[in-house]
Structure 1
Amino acid sequence: MQTLTSNNLLLEDADATAALGARLARHLPERAVVHLHGDLGAGKSTLARALLRALGVTGTIRSPTYTLVEQYPLAVGGTALHLDMYRIGDPGELEFLGLDSADIRLWLVEWPERGRGALPASDLDIELAVAGSGRRCLLRPNSMAGQAWLNGLASD
Structure 2
Amino acid sequence: MNVIFSLDQLEEVAQKIIAKNPKKVILFHGEMGVGKTTLIKQLCKTLGVIGATSSPTFSLVNEYQTTNNQIVYHFDFYRLNHEVEALDMGVDDYLYSGNLCFIEWAEKIPNLIPEAHSVITIELLPNGKRSLELK
Q: TM-score range by the shorter chain?
A: 0.7 to 0.9
Question: For the structure 1 residues 89 and 122, does the alpha-carbon distance in structure 2 shift closer, same or farther, using more than 3 Å as the test?
Answer: farther
Structure 2 residue 134 is the aligned partner of structure 1 residue 139: yes
Write the distance in 1 (CA, Å) between the matches of 2:4 and 2:29.
Answer: 16
2:64–2:71: 8 Å Cα contact kept in structure 1? Answer: yes
Q: Which residue of 1 aligns with 2:49?
A: 57
Output the TM-score relative to the length of structure 1. 0.75
Percent sequence identity over aligned pairs: 28
Query: Shift in Å at residue 16 of structure 1?
Result: 1.4
TM-score by length of 2: 0.86
CA distance in 2, matches of 1:122, 1:47: 21
Q: Provide structure 2 residue ranges, at least 5 long, that are not aligned to the other structure.
A: none
| 1:55–1:88 distance in 2 versus 1, CA, 3 Å | same
Higher relative contact order (CA closer than 8 Å, sequence separation 6+): 2
Further displaced range: 91-100 or 129-138:
91-100
Structure 1: segments with no counterpart, 5+ residues: 1-6, 141-156
Moved over 6 A (4+): none
Name the Cα RMSD after superposition.
1.9
Which deviates further from its counterpart, 71-80 or 60-69? 71-80
Q: SS at 1:65's partner residue?
A: coil
1:123 Cα deviation from its structure 2 partner: 2.4
